[in-house]
Structure 1
């Protein structure tokens, strides 16, 4: 009896194993077939814009890093020691040449000036009296010389005292824009102590260095363009006005200077600038829009669009390229493309190699070597 029960139990377990094994095998087979179907399922075509790789003529330019410098820029300092009695300017104010900025207390100096003026009046009367007497032959030549000498000494002392009083008045040496005030009323200042900075901002200089191999290519009056981090959407233009004849023996670079108009006072001394010098040379370059480049750590690539085998669509083929100089919205292609080939200029993240695409150029991205955004 027990043997019969054992056989039935074994048969039941065997049947359960067959049943569940069949279920698992069916599910595994279905999953494999589903994945295979997804792998072979064709993806819908991606919609992109296109651009043609074309040859352009670019004027050669020399790229450098420049620093803005004021035509005139100084730290206005005191010439005498004393207490600040008056301040006639505000921080950031625009001032004219000779405008009074501050005064130091000058009570004793002005009193001494009045004493000398009184001595001058007395010395002049004495001299005029002796001169009249000498004309009538009453006094000697020595008496006339003594009064003339006394008068000249008082005049000299008076000029020295006036200069002493003027040294206690601080004026702007040229027209420009003031910086932040560094003195206060009642402050006791020493000679050479900074009062405020003064910068003449229009026009303004940009100093930059170039390698010595370009020394023969750079000349006075060559056009220069620059861009700053402070105003990245603005492009400023100027011309080279000075070239240092000396080449630095350590860096093998030479210094050049350009002058730019700065009516809005946007550019300031010490600003960093990317400088481009337009030299008298041109070259042929193969260019595409910068938006057509797919940047990657292992190399830049583009998607070349070619007609499909059936002739009713385009296929995107990924191709690695070597890039060169960038200008505006365009980038130079050194290797990997030929003139006339069509590349995808937008929607690159939707593309895959040998994938189908649809070209729609209704809204193409900008592609200019010298862009002018509308907000400029």
Structure 2
């Protein structure tokens, strides 16, 4: 029995060894075939860096703010007796907006006026008596104080009545009214918004590296999504005297003409700030840049093109090279480091490329690149 068991184990070992041996040989042959299998070339288009002289400018996102803007409210409570405006009206400085009921206050003012008049008459009589040395100086001072107090009370009451008439603090455009005639409003209740929109300001921020180049008076242009074909021009009004510690950005404010009132407070716009001087750049189309989380790169074509065109010649390949990017203009982006002017780089088909990837160049159809593209709206 033991002899049979040993023979069976030996036979089983031989069978399993042969099976696993065949499997290992098959896998090794497959791996060797895949490793030696030629990589099919990828068809790409190519371009070389172009030299440009660009205006020295920087782009930022801005927020439009009014030169003057306020939510009009009341200092005192009361019932609205008159509304002197409609939603969206343009008003001048000092124009009446809302009148609150002031009958009670006016009655009190008349009483205080009568007291002030009486105190004035008493003062005049006491002054005559004092000149005749009929009363003491202390009696005259007491009457003088009473007259002054009566006059101050009358002026204070007149000021309370003036608070019942709300006027425009500056010229501008009104928003949508939020109250109605006959409504009781408490102190601080918003009545309507008033915005001065011509001119209008735009606030934006730039990295602190531009501090040496920015100053008041530099020209800016602004575009907004609401009017894609319009360019609004202005100048830098002020530069914040400190740098934000959290973002290391410096804040700027520019003022724009807005005679047609197209721009509104609260909009955001693309701001272009033109800095002094010009810069010479080496730029490539944006399609030639491979963007990733670990940096931007290009695929540079290597090899002998004439030899690659001959039968049996070594094919052209590409090498991935990391680059540092500068400003962008239209379809071009400047490359500040990592690329030479005579380097040929792939401008299409980048998703299929990797290091040492064989390529075939076909430049008959390649993406168009313009400094000032004007794509049709779709």
Taking structure 1 as reference, are residues 12 and 190 closer, same or farther at Cα in structure 2, changes over 3 Å only? closer
Structure 1 residues 193-204: aligned runs within 5 Å: 193-204=189-200
Question: How far apart are residue 10 of structure 1 and its match?
Answer: 3.5
For normalisation by structure 2, the TM-score amounts to: 0.66
Tell me if the contact between 2:78 and 2:185 (Cα under 8 Å) persists in the aligned partners.
yes
Counterpart for residue 165 of structure 2:
168
Residue 30 (structure 1) aligned to one of 26, 33, 38: 26
Question: How far apart are residue 303 of structure 1 and its match?
Answer: 0.4
CA distance in 1 between partners of 2:169 and 2:259 (Å): 21
C-alpha deviations, 1:17-74, integer Å up to 9, x for none? 2233112211210111111211221222223332321111111124566442213323
Unmatched 5+ stretches in structure 2: 109-156, 310-314
Helix, strand or coil at the partner of 2:91: coil
Tell me if the contact between 1:223 and 1:237 (Cα under 8 Å) persists in the aligned partners.
no
Question: How far apart are residue 253 of structure 1 and its match?
Answer: 6.1
Would you say 1:319 and 2:321 are equivalent positions? yes
Helix, strand or coil at the partner of 1:287: strand
Helix, strand or coil at the partner of 1:94: coil
CA distance in 1 between partners of 2:243 and 2:317 (Å): 56
Structure 1 residues 90-105: aligned runs within 5 Å: 93-97=87-91, 101-105=97-101
Tell me if the contact between 2:49 and 2:343 (Cα under 8 Å) persists in the aligned partners.
yes
Tell me if the contact between 1:308 and 1:315 (Cα under 8 Å) persists in the aligned partners.
no
Counterpart for residue 151 of structure 1:
none
Counterpart for residue 237 of structure 1:
232
CA distance in 1 between partners of 2:96 and 2:170 (Å): 10
Counterpart for residue 340 of structure 1:
342
Tell me if the contact between 1:102 and 1:171 (Cα under 8 Å) persists in the aligned partners.
no
CA distance in 2 between partners of 1:337 and 1:367 (Å): 19
Aligned residues: 319
CA distance in 2 between partners of 1:100 and 1:218 (Å): 40
Structure 1 residues 92-241: aligned runs within 5 Å: 93-97=87-91, 101-105=97-101, 168=165, 173-178=170-175, 180-189=176-185, 193-208=189-204, 218=215, 220=217, 222-226=218-222, 236-240=231-235
Residue 375 (structure 1) aligned to one of 369, 374, 377: 377
Tell me if the contact between 1:74 and 1:198 (Cα under 8 Å) persists in the aligned partners.
yes
C-alpha deviations, 1:129-173, integer Å up to 9, x for none? xxxxxxxxxxxxxxxxxxxxxxxxxxxxxxx99x96995365685
Tell me if the contact between 2:74 and 2:163 (Cα under 8 Å) persists in the aligned partners.
no
Unmatched 5+ stretches in structure 1: 113-159
Taking structure 1 as reference, are residues 216 and 359 closer, same or farther at Cα in structure 2, changes over 3 Å only? closer
Helix, strand or coil at the partner of 1:311: helix
CA distance in 1 between partners of 2:209 and 2:21 (Å): 77
Taking structure 1 as reference, are residues 262 and 41 closer, same or farther at Cα in structure 2, changes over 3 Å only? farther
Question: How far apart are residue 352 of structure 1 and its match?
Answer: 1.4
CA distance in 1 between partners of 2:259 and 2:15 (Å): 88
Taking structure 1 as reference, are residues 360 and 200 closer, same or farther at Cα in structure 2, changes over 3 Å only? farther
Question: How far apart are residue 83 of structure 1 and its match?
Answer: 0.3
CA distance in 2 between partners of 1:308 and 1:262 (Å): 62
Q: Which moved more, 1:94-103 or 1:251-260?
A: 251-260
Helix, strand or coil at the partner of 2:374: coil
